[in-house]
Chain A
Amino acid sequence: MKRRLLALVLGMVVLLPSITFANGAQEEGDDKPVVGLIMKSLANEFFMAMDEGARAYAEEDGSFKLITMGMNSETDFDTQVNAVDSLITQGVDLIVLAPADSAGMVAPVKRAIDAGVTVINFDVTLDKGALKAAGLPEEFLFVGPDNTDGAEMVGNYLGEAIGEGGKVIIIEGNPGADNAKQRKNGFMKSIETHGMELLASNTAHWEAEEANTLMTNLLTKHPDVQGVMCANDSMALGVVRALEAAGRGDVQVVGFDNIPAVKDLILNDKMLATVHMDGTEMAILAFNAGFEIIDGSRENLGWVQSPLILADKDFFK
């Protein structure tokens, strides 16, 4: 806690827009392996829940020490680079990293590996081209969900609800973000499978209010829309509000992530479904893969898929 406070104060003093939070401590004279968990923005509920879940797991498990670090923004990769370097300096055994920048984080990962630290890439894949350029295998082990699959799954669910030839709109995430691209690709696959008609596909940069404005305007342009596929649940919230304000309860909405706020919307038929992703479970899979690599029972190659579950009305009952 003291560390966290210190980091907070320091960050404010130098007016960095991004503040690193470091939790957990490392005591000397103990031979338990030390694991550094580097996440993206702790302002994102998903990572906040992961932070809490992973620390609870480490405490209960007791076989390793955990240091967790989060950034203050999703794209703040400078701070993430510093976090990796400081973990290398502290001599941790394993770094579990959700890269804020797929290509940019490869260099610090290489530094960590050269320093003898095992690195597990989770949540978002490192860029294959950058891995190759750094002399690392392109198939560097990745622990995480198949975003394309998840989006296709929930897209298909929407397709079944509105039927063959249904007219849909996609609300995209940040252009350039890998998971945004993958989720859009998944939606596109389901659109093809169910012969749906894509009226428009625009970005609302993951944000609720922007999605609200965008959906309101798209409703004016395409009043015949029957379904909306949102690349995350925050945007789905904004879309549901826009449809409510326009009195369009007939339009079906699906999202991604399963944030707490969508539960009631789904139970009250304001939203059709979302994709449930468990951050803690993903982190634990990553820890275990890391320990297996350290004791030699696994190669640092391939893809450990973390499960995605379709969360519809039945899921919450």
Chain B
Amino acid sequence: MNNNNTVKEIDSNSGMNHSARMRSLLNIFLKEVGIGIVLIVLVIAFSLGAPRFFTLINVGNIFTQISINTVIAVGMTFVILLGGIDLSVGSVLALCSIVAGKILINPSLPFGLAILLAVLLSVGCGMIIGFLNGIICETWKIHSFIVTLGMLNIARGMALQISHSKTIFNFPKVFNQIGTTTYLGVFPAIFIIAMMLVILGSVILRKTVFGRMIFAIGNNEESVRLSGHNVKFYKIMAYTICGGAVGIATIMYMMRMSIASPILGVGFELNAIAAVVIGGTSMSGGKGSLVGTFLGASIMGVLNNGLLLIGMGDFARQIITGVIIILAVVLDTYRTKFSAALNS
């Protein structure tokens, strides 16, 4: 936020000198692209190490594989920017999939209507649970860690109860065709949806009062409250947005896998949190970006794909992924220090 303010101030200063311009450029570069350097290094390394890595088909595959995590991580970014966390996203994904799946296989509905209803119900179900998460946290001032941990159990239990532990399958063909459509040979439909959400989210965070309030609350909640704003509203909205994003991710998952199951999504919350944090969003809130989150999700997807293509074993892959998550965040602390030094 500090950096961001500085950049804005310098930008609006028409009489800014050359070195200030250079500084602001470097600042933007460090802020938004910093983690991109890690991604570029990985892509180059894998391209050299695995001949089939940098091909249209494989890049398209990676796009598909990061889409779901990207969408969940976009929602998670809103919550983490407020200094909160949402551990329930994986279970909510399972619950939304059961709700949407039951509608999709309902034989009395024409498939067009069934698909529309499934999308609306999935997003609606996610938003309701997000709203509940937010309102419980805010009404009783409980940390979101414990509220969403509770919701993790509630949503999973409900998914199991409603579905009777049974996988739902046999969705309309059109539905699955969307999930496997690829444009221009490299852009899968679900990736395009994910990108649109990243852009939409970025506009909301950067260009609207709502977005600025999210950053402001993450930086200093008390001063926002004292200046007369309804902090509770913004916080509940952030959780609701997160839930809605999970609802969209659910539809993407179902399009891709053509199943709905009460046991899917286990551990998705950790992947989403990792993407957000690798992307430079601070766990204590107030600092971060959705472009960073997208880059974070990309790094995880590229690692998973690239390490396999260069022939790394399962266990080594897990270890290296862990090491790179930590390294990326360690590097980020240097970037922050460097950019702070640059501004002083």
Question: Which A residues lie at the B interface, using CB under 8 A?
Answer: 8, 11-12, 15-17, 19, 42-45, 47-48, 72, 175, 202-203, 207-209, 212-214, 216-218, 220-221, 234, 237-238, 241, 244-246, 259-261, 264
In contact, B262 and A43 (Cβ under 8 angstroms):
yes
Residue of chain B at shortest CB distance from A238:
B257
Q: How far is the CB of A232 from chain B (nearest CB, A)?
A: 12
User: Of A43, A207, A214, A260, which is within 8 A of B160 by CB?
Assistant: A43
Residues of B within 8 A of A16 (CB): 153
Q: Once the chains are docked, how many angstroms separate the CA of A270 from the CA of B253?
A: 20
Q: A residues within 8 A CB of B50? A: 221
Question: B180 contacts which chain A residues (CB < 8 A)?
Answer: 244-245
| A-contacting residues, B119-156, CB 8 Å | 146, 149-150, 152-154, 156
Partner of B257, one of A43, A44, A208, A221: A208
Q: List 25 A-B contacts (CB under 8 A).
A: A12-B153, A15-B150, A15-B153, A19-B153, A43-B165, A43-B263, A44-B165, A44-B263, A47-B165, A202-B308, A207-B264, A208-B261, A212-B256, A213-B65, A216-B65, A217-B61, A217-B65, A217-B305, A220-B57, A220-B305, A238-B257, A241-B256, A246-B57, A260-B167, A264-B169
9 closest A-B pairs (Cβ-Cβ)?
A48-B165, A261-B169, A245-B180, A43-B263, A220-B58, A217-B308, A216-B61, A203-B314, A220-B52
Chain A at the B interface: SS class: helix
> When the two chains form their complex, are residues A42 and B263 in contact, meaning their CB atoms are under 8 A apart?
no
CB-CB under 8 A from A220, the residues of chain B are: 52-53, 55, 57-58, 61, 305, 309
Contact of A12 (CB < 8 Å), options: B61, B64, B157, B169: B157
A16 CB, min distance to chain B CBs, angstroms: 8
- Interface residues, chain B, with chain A CB atoms under 8 Å away: 50, 52-53, 55, 57-58, 61, 64-65, 146, 149-150, 152-154, 156-157, 160, 164-167, 169-170, 180, 253, 256-259, 261-264, 266, 304-305, 308-309, 311, 313-315
CA distance A215 to B314 in the complex (A): 14
Most buried by A among B55, B152, B314: B314
Min distance, Cβ A134 to any Cβ of chain B, angstroms: 30
Out of A207, A218, A245, which one reaches B308, CB within 8 Å? A218
With both chains docked as a complex, state the minimum distance between the C-beta of B79 and any C-beta of chain A, in angstroms: 19
Chain B: minimal CB distance from A13 (Å): 9
* Nearest CB on B from A200, distance (A): 8
Given A15-B153, A43-B262, A221-B52: A216 in contact with B64 (beta carbons within 8 A): yes
Q: Which residues of B lie under 8 Å from residue A44 when comparing CB positions?
A: 165, 263
Please measure, in the bound complex, the distance between the C-alpha atom of A214 and the C-alpha atom of B307, giving whole angstroms: 11
| Complex contact B164–A19 (CB within 8 A) | no
Q: Is the CB of A213 within 8 A of B165?
A: no
Determine if B153 and A241 form an interchain contact, defined as CB atoms under 8 angstroms apart.
no
A30 to B266, CA, bound (A): 43
Contact status of A241 and B157, CB under 8 A, knowing A214-B308, A217-B305: no
Bound-complex Cα distance A8 to B65 (A): 35
Chain B nearest CB: distance from A45 CB in Å?
6
In the bound complex, residues from chain B placing their C-beta under 8 Å from that of A43 are 156, 160, 165, 262-263
| Cβ-closest chain B residue relative to A221 | B309
Residues of A within 8 A of B166 (CB): 45, 48, 260
Q: With contacts A17-B153, A45-B166 known, is A237 near B259, CB below 8 A?
A: yes
Given contacts A214-B308, A216-B61, contact A208 B153 (CB under 8 A): no
Selected from A48, A202, A209, the residue in CB contact (under 8 A) with B253 is A209
A49 CB to nearest chain B CB (Å): 9
Please give, as numbers and ranges, the residues of chain B lying within 8 Å of A42 by CB-CB distance: 160, 165
In the assembled complex, the Cα of A203 lies from the Cα of B264 at a distance in Å of 17
A16–B314 alpha-carbon span in the complex (Å): 30
Find chain A residues with CB under 8 A from B156 CB: 43, 72
Does A45 contact B154, Cβ atoms closer than 8 Å?
no
Are B305 and A48 neighbours in the complex by a CB distance under 8 Å? Answer: no
Chain A residue, CB-CB nearest to B55: A220
Min CB distance A97 to B, Å, is 20
Q: Which of B55, B257, B304, B309 is close to A237, meaning CB atoms less than 8 Å apart?
A: B257
Question: A175: nearest residue on chain B (CB-CB)?
Answer: B314
Q: Identify which of B154, B165, B257, B311 contacts A212 (C-beta below 8 A).
A: B257
